[in-house]
Amino acid sequence: MSTPDHTPGAKSPPILSLHDVWVEYGDKIVLEKVELDFEAGSFVSIVGPSGAGKSSLLRVILGQEVPTRGRILLDGEPLAPECGPDRGVVFQRYSVFPHLTALGNVVFGLECVKAPLLARLFGSARKAAEAQAADMLAAVGLGDALHLYPAQMSGGMQQRLAIAQALIKRPRILLLDEPFGALDPGIRADMHALITQLWRDYALTIIMVTHDIREAFGLGTRVLALDKRRHDPHAPHRFGATAVYDLALRKAAPGAVDEPAAQPANIAQRASA
Amino acid sequence: MRWVNRQVRRSDAVLLGAVPIVLLLLVYLFLAVSRHAANPFDKILPLPQGMVTGMVPLLFQPDQLSGQYVFWADTLASLERLGLGLAIATATSLVVGLVLGVLPPVRATIGPLVTGIAVIPPIALLPILFIALGLGETAKVALIVIGITPVMVRDIAAYVGSLPREQIVKAQTLGAGSWQIMLRVALPQALPRLIHALRLALGPAWVFLISAEAIASDIGLGYRIFLVRRYLSMDVIIPYVAWIALLAIVMDVALAQLSKRAFPWAHGASH
């Protein structure tokens, strides 16, 4: 069920593919027969009504949940059944560590891989990691907030921090679970500009779950709508959701500078905000 | 204005808080004076000067038998037992609570045991402790440890277990393993909670200390209170109880301050 793709890399194998994925809780079926391929460099929005399994799908891709049936391949390799640094994530809330400053939150990702025993770096290694983290924070617009704790930040700043934290690991795929759902509209527009910018600058592959249809079409190169194909009024839980619409939008690949056609005009232009 | 909306200014709060304490002191004084009017040798409700006369030898004169200043020796002995018990209990509950909260297999293995120990009334174990460990310091410290550790362990474990799942997932996507999550995500966030649990455990810890000292000891605040009780020496008992209360308050305030200083991120946005 691969989608026709307009990006230059359309011939390359998909970065992530789901084959016949089912998610069941007891006799309740949440996802059924999900067949999806994700191209490298795409920005996929997932929409759908509440309870249609959007977040379940994201958790399965993230490795937080193991599908009842089916195979998931990342770069052609079967996915390990737990979370790992190849898939970054930003949740709607609780994505950052409250006990670390902005800098500490971002450095943490570098410390984990380099210091397996103490998960802390010292001396010149620490200086280098902090410099790298500070650059990342500057890229998301938190250059002046390095030493603030999350509790001292606004919701938008916390989400910027969560994005910086995820990107420092250079994940193969960035997963966003309603990342801007709790932000007010003005801040949300700023965040749209930021994520579009980062998607291009870092050539990211992004999968975003959202409630907001405008956001889904505005940001994505491809929109997936999850819903149930079949409905049994006597046992509504016995049929799961799957991708009922799979729309590829005409839009420039990351790195391209021309204005994408399907994108609402206001979003990319607010990149300076 | 509704009472739920009435805010009290800080200066007024100090005043209001002092009122019941002063009233209670006045009631005591009134009762003591009226008893002494009827019987100048009354021992049940001593007057302040009676307490002073009772306490001065304990405070400032060495005991003829042991050569010690009794009040200070008692205080030192009790604080040693209490401090040792609290330290062991705190360290144990941090380590056990952390692994219980973070690692599901450990929780499944020793969770029931901890729950089982927690429901045993510690005082019921006191005879076992005295038989097994003798009548020395070990048994008293052990009673404090056994008395407060299970509650603290369960509190820390529950708190760590209730850290948002998102944080644990996020840490893994940043490359952290179980050990690193425990060390860098769970441990720092458990510390303010540990201090909170310790503050709540101070009360029970004093109870177990005084109980152990009352039953088998030759020195200590609890021992002294139960010793002089035989002579109806309320002039010593009441100052000792007030002293215990003061020590407990100082400890509580010190811990609260420590938590605010050391973990500003855990105490709201204004830091």
ipTM for the complex shown? 0.82
Does any domain span residue A245? yes
> Does residue A264 carry a pLDDT above 90?
no
Q: Is residue A214 part of a domain?
A: yes
Q: What share of chain A is helix, strand, coil (3-state, %, to 5)?
A: 35, 25, 45
Instruction: Tell whether A269 and A198 lie within a shared domain.
Output: yes
What does the pLDDT average to over A57-78?
89
Over 60: is that where the pLDDT of A4 sits? no
What is the domain extent for residue B117? 58-266
pLDDT of residue A229: 84
How many structural domains compose chain A?
Answer: 2
Q: How many domains does one find in chain B?
A: 1
pLDDT digits 0-9 by tens, B36-52: 999 999 999 999 999 99
Residues of B in CB contact (< 8 Å) with A are 164-167, 169-177, 179-180, 183-185, 188-189, 263-266, 268-269, 271
Q: Are residues A165 and A180 in the same domain?
A: no
A194: domain CATH number? 3.40.50.300
The verdict on a CB contact (< 8 Å) between A62 and B173 is yes
CA torsion through residues A160, A163, A169, A172, sign: negative
- Answer whether residue B225 is part of any domain: yes
> How many angstroms away from the CA of A3 is the closest CA of chain B?
28
Q: Is residue B191 part of a domain?
A: yes
From A97, A117, A171, residue closest to B167, measured CB to CB: A97
Is A152's CB within 8 Å of B269's CB?
A: yes
Predicted local confidence at residue A239, as pLDDT = 84
Read off the pLDDT of residues B224-254 as tens digits, 9 standing for 90 and up: 999 999 999 999 999 999 999 999 999 999 9
Q: pLDDT value at position A9?
A: 45
For residue A154, what are the domain limits?
A: 96-170
Q: What is the mean pLDDT of residues A65-72?
A: 89
The pLDDT value recorded for residue A262 is 42
Domain-ending residue, one of A170, A199, A229: A170
pLDDT of residue A1: 43
**Which residues in chain B have their CB less than 8 angstroms from residue A162's CB?**
170
DSSP symbol at A14: P
- Specify if A91 maps to a domain: no
What is the number of CB-based contacts under 8 A between chain A and chain B? 93
Nearest chain B alpha carbon to A172: B173
Residue B190 maps to a domain: yes
Q: What is the CATH number of the domain that holds B245?
A: 1.10.3720.10
Candidates B170, B180, B181: best to mutate against A (most CBs of A within 10 A) is: B170
The pLDDT assigned to B220 comes to 94
Residue A266 has a pLDDT of: 42
**In-domain check, residue B120:** yes
pLDDT interval class at A260 (50, 70, 90): very low
pLDDT score recorded for residue B29: 95
Task: For residue range B139-169, list pLDDT tens digits in order.
Answer: 999 999 999 999 999 999 999 999 999 999 9
Q: What is the DSSP string of B157-200?
A: HHHHHTS-HHHHHHHHHTT--HHHIIIIIIHHHHHHHHHHHHHH
Strands A173-177 and A206-209, by their bridges, are parallel
Residues A269 and A176 reside in one and the same domain: yes
Q: What is the pLDDT of residue A251?
A: 60
d(CA A95, CA A107): 15
Domain boundary among A124, A155, A170: A170
Which pLDDT score, from 0 to 100, does residue A242 have? 83
My answer on whether A56 and A178 are in the same domain is yes
Q: Is residue B260 part of a domain?
A: yes
Number of residues in chain B: 271
Q: Work out the pLDDT band at A5, boundaries 50, 70, 90.
A: very low
Whether the full predicted model's pTM is greater than 0.90, yes or no, is no
Nearest-angstrom CA–CA distance, A110 and A135: 13
Joined tokens for residue A129: 């990691």
Predicted confidence band of residue A82 (pLDDT cuts 50, 70, 90) = confident
Q: With a cut of 90, say whether residue B103 has pLDDT above it.
A: yes
What percentage of chain B exceeds 90 in pLDDT?
83
Last residue of a domain, one of A142, A170, A198: A170
- Quick one: A129 and A181 in the same domain? no
Same domain, A75 and A206: yes
For residues A103 and A226, membership in a common domain is answered with: no
B14 found inside a domain:
no
CA separation for the pair A165, A102 (Å, rounded): 9
Across A202-207, average pLDDT: 91
